[in-house]
Amino acid sequence: MMPTSHSDRLLRLLVEFFDLPADTRPENISQQLLPSWDSLAMVQLITELEGRFLVNFDIEEIQRLRSYDEIRDALRRKGVSLGVQATSRV
């Protein structure tokens, strides 16, 4: 029901960001499973997500952004369009 193009873009961003194999499954992208997801990466990731999707995360969200699913849910809650027409940047 939910178009997947935007989620896929998120997946691509995370795969590139953490330098993961291209076929990495979303459920395998979490802070728990990725040693490179340290506090520095966290800061860089937040800056990158905010820049790419033109959103600001609030404090509570930031503390929960620990996996692909949580980031995807937060972006959806921000009203980031998940439609095919969604644009990532101006």
Partner 1 sequence: MRSDCNLAMHERGLASLNLVLQWIHSFPDVQKSAVMEAFDSASLAKTRRALRLLEELGPDQRGPVFEVEMLSTFNLEPLLPVLQLALNCLPSQARLRLAALDSIEAHIAHPATSGSHVVCNARIIIWRIEEALPEALYPFSHGFPQGLSARVDQLLERVERVVALHKRNSPGIPLFLSTMALPVNFANPVSAAQHPAGPFAAVARVNQKIYELAAPGDGIYVLDLASWAASRGSVYTDATVDFLARQPLTAKGQVGFALFIARCLRALVVPRRKVLALDLDNTLWGGVVGEDGVNGLKLGHEFPGNVHLRIQRELLELRHRGVLLVLLSKNNEADARQAFESLPDMLLKWDDFAARKINWNHKHENLREVARELGLGLDSFAFLDDSDYEREQMRQAIPEVLILNESSDALQTLRALWETDAFDAFFVTQEDRRRNEDYALRGARSTEARQDDLETFLKSLEMRATIEEIGLPNMERVVTMLGKTNQFNLTTRRHSRAQVQAMLELPGSIPLALRLRDKFGDQGIIALLLAVPSGDNGTLVVDSFLVSCRALGRGVEDALWAAMLRRANRQNVRRLEAEYIPTAKNAIVANLYDRFGLQRVEHNSGSTRYVSEQVSLADFPPWIAVKDDANKP
Strands (E), 1-90: none
Adjacent-strand bridge partners of 36: none
Distance CA 71, CA 40 (A): 17
- Using the rule CB under 8 A, give the single segment among 1-9, 10-18, 26-34, 69-77 that binds partner 1: 10-18
d(CA 29, CA 11): 9
| Radius of gyration of the chain measured on its C-alpha atoms | 12
Closest CA to 62 of 52, 49, 80: 49
By CB under 8 A, is residue 22 in contact with partner 1? no
The contact mask relative to partner 1 for 34-73 (x = CB under 8 A, - = no) is -----xx-xxx-xxx-xxx-xxxx-x--x-----------
Q: How far is the CB of 28 from partner 1 (least distance, A)?
A: 18
Which CB, 50 or 69, lies closer to partner 1?
50
Binding-site ranges for partner 1 (CB under 8 A): 13, 16-17, 19, 39-40, 42-44, 46-48, 50-52, 54-57, 59, 62, 89-90
